[in-house]
Amino acid sequence: MASEGSARTQPSRLRSAAGAFATNWRNPDLRRAQAASFAAWTAEWAVTVVLAVYAYGRGGATEVGVVALVRVLPAAIVAPLATQFADRWPREKVLVAVSVARSVTIALAGWAVFADGPALIVYALVTVSSVAAVLFRPVHSALLPSLCSTPPELAGANVVRGALDSAATLAGPVLSAVLLATGGPAQVLAVAAVASAWAGWLMARVHPEPTRVAGGAPDAEGPLDRALGGFRAVIEHRDLLLLFALAGAQTIMRGAITVFTVVVAVELVGLGDPGVGVLNAALGAGAVVASAAAALLVGTRRLAAWFGLGVALWGAPLVVIGLFPSAASAMIMLAIVGAGNALVDVGGFTLIARIAPANALARVFGVLESVAAVGVGLGALLTPFIMDALTLGTSLVVLGLLTPTAVALSWRRLRALDAVIVGRDDELALLRGVPLLDALPLPALETVARQLDHVVVPAGETVFRQGDPGDRFYVVVAGTAEVMGDGRPITNLGPGESFGEIALLRRVPRTATVRAVEELRLESLRGDRFLALMTGSTRGGAATSARVDEMLHRFAPRPLPGVEPPR
Mean pLDDT confidence for 86-112: 88
- Give 483-494 pLDDT, tens digit per residue: 998 888 888 998
Q: Which of 429, 461, 493 is the last residue of a domain?
A: 429
Domain assignment present for 446: no
**What is the rounded distance in angstroms from the CA atom of residue 227 to the CA atom of residue 31?**
31
Strand partners, 488: 485
Residue 265: pLDDT band with limits 50, 70, 90: confident
Same domain, 97 and 193: yes
365, pLDDT greater than 60: yes
What SS3 class is residue 485?
strand
Among 52-56, 111-115, 479-483, 488-492, the least confident range: 52-56
Phi–psi pair at 19, nearest 5 degrees: -65, -30
Residue 15: pLDDT band with limits 50, 70, 90: low
Domain assignment present for 434: no
What is residue 111's predicted lDDT score, i.e. its pLDDT? Answer: 93
Under DSSP, the state recorded for 211 is B
**Which CATH number belongs to the domain containing residue 164 in this structure?**
1.20.1250.20
What is residue 215's predicted lDDT score, i.e. its pLDDT? Answer: 46
> How many domains does the chain divide into?
2
Same domain, 228 and 368: yes
Q: How far is CA 341 from the centre of its chain?
A: 14
Among 156-170, 306-320, 361-375, the least confident range: 156-170
Strand partners, 523: 454, 475
107, pLDDT greater than 80: yes
Among 51-65, 179-193, 321-335, 374-388, the least confident range: 51-65
What is residue 335's predicted lDDT score, i.e. its pLDDT? Answer: 87
Same domain, 404 and 468: no
Mean pLDDT confidence for 519-534: 85
Q: What is the bridge-based pairing of β-strands 462-464 and 513-516?
A: antiparallel
Domain assignment present for 136: yes
Tell me the pLDDT of the chain averaged across its residues.
80
Same domain, 337 and 460: no
Residue 558: pLDDT band with limits 50, 70, 90: very low
- Reference 176, options 104, 70, 263, 262; nearest CA is 262
What SS3 class is residue 482?
strand
**What is the rounded distance in angstroms from the CA atom of residue 29 to the CA atom of residue 20?**
15
What is residue 405's predicted lDDT score, i.e. its pLDDT? Answer: 95
Domain span at residue 38 reads 10-206+222-429
Among 248-252, 369-373, 406-410, 496-500, the least confident range: 369-373
Same domain, 479 and 415: no
Q: What is the bridge-based pairing of β-strands 462-464 and 481-485?
A: unpaired
Q: Count CA atoms closer than 13 A to 283's CA, side-chain side.
A: 27
Domain assignment present for 337: yes
Q: Which of 429, 463, 498 is the last residue of a domain?
A: 429
Same domain, 420 and 466: no
**Which CATH number belongs to the domain containing residue 467 in this structure?**
2.60.120.10
Same domain, 403 and 489: no
What is residue 214's predicted lDDT score, i.e. its pLDDT? Answer: 45
Cβ–Cβ under 8 Å, residues 105 and 125? yes
Same domain, 318 and 410: yes
Q: Which residues, 6+ apart, have CB-to-CB distance to 218 below 8 Å?
A: 84, 87, 88, 226, 229, 359, 360
552, pLDDT greater than 60: no
Q: Count CA atoms closer than 13 A to 485's CA, side-chain side.
A: 17
What is residue 162's predicted lDDT score, i.e. its pLDDT? Answer: 76
Cβ–Cβ under 8 Å, residues 67 and 123? yes
What is residue 566's predicted lDDT score, i.e. its pLDDT? Answer: 41
Among 180-194, 215-229, 367-381, 424-438, the least confident range: 215-229
Same domain, 512 and 395: no
Same domain, 355 and 298: yes
- Give 276-290 pLDDT, tens digit per residue: 777 877 887 787 777
Q: Which has more pLDDT, 92 or 213? A: 92
122, pLDDT greater than 50: yes
**What is the rounded distance in angstroms from the CA atom of residue 107 to the CA atom of residue 114?**
10
89, pLDDT greater than 70: yes
Domain assignment present for 215: no
Describe the chain by its helix, strand, coil percentages, rounded to 5. 75, 5, 20
What is residue 284's predicted lDDT score, i.e. its pLDDT? Answer: 75
Domain assignment present for 94: yes
Same domain, 246 and 299: yes
Domain assignment present for 46: yes
Q: Count CA atoms closer than 13 A to 557's CA, side-chain side.
A: 28
**What is the rounded distance in angstroms from the CA atom of residue 194 to the CA atom of residue 481?**
61
Same domain, 88 and 169: yes
CA distances from 426 to 349, 423, 432, 442, 528 (A): 20, 5, 10, 14, 24
Q: Which residues, 6+ apart, have CB-to-CB distance to 546 below 8 Å?
A: none
